[in-house]
Amino acid sequence: MASVRKVPRVRSTSVTLRRLSLNGRRPSKLMEQTKANRLEREHFKARTVRDIIKPVKSISNQVSVKTALDELQARAIDSSLVIDQRGELLGTLSKNTMNRNVGGLGHDPKTEPVQAHIEKNHTYCFEDQTIAEAEQMMLHAKIGEVSVVTREKLLVGMINIKAIAQKERLRKDLESPKSRA
């Protein structure tokens, strides 16, 4: 039975590694990995939000409260972004707010439009902003995710602090001169 060797994680450093074959012998050909140059690191720091956007589903402002609540229940979420017919971000809808405002006041959820229940003070960033700007915005507002829109306020997607942290770790790995033996 052939033995299995652990291969160390490859980092962006200027080390020379030998490829291991499955039978444990080392081939004579060498693989070389080069260190990321300064220009690549600067480009990484200036990357835009567009590079880490995740797609997001939204609800139309033309639907009834009942339809919106059914959609939220089907997706197993408590709130959703609301867009108009053009795709422009109008704000967010919350299941709790709609239940309280519509059910609590005796309105009919089948005929009540969601338009009146949209929370308009929603934090968003533009797709051409840098990741660092978006991160600062999220930290300042103390939120974990933010909507991404075009300059015309058309909804593009969503980013979250976790995706930013992953990009930051990758950037630090590229800059790190440490090598693993």
CB contact set of 77 (below 8 Å; sequence gap of 6+): none
Element (H, E) at 33: strand 30-33
User: Residue 23: what pLDDT?
Assistant: 42
Coil, strand, or helix at residue 3?
coil
Give the rounded percent of residues in the chain with a pLDDT score beyond 90: 44
pLDDT bucket at 21, cuts 50 / 70 / 90: very low
Which domains can be identified in the chain, with CATH numbers? 15-47 (no CATH), 49-168 (3.10.580.10)
The mean predicted confidence, pLDDT, of the chain is: 77
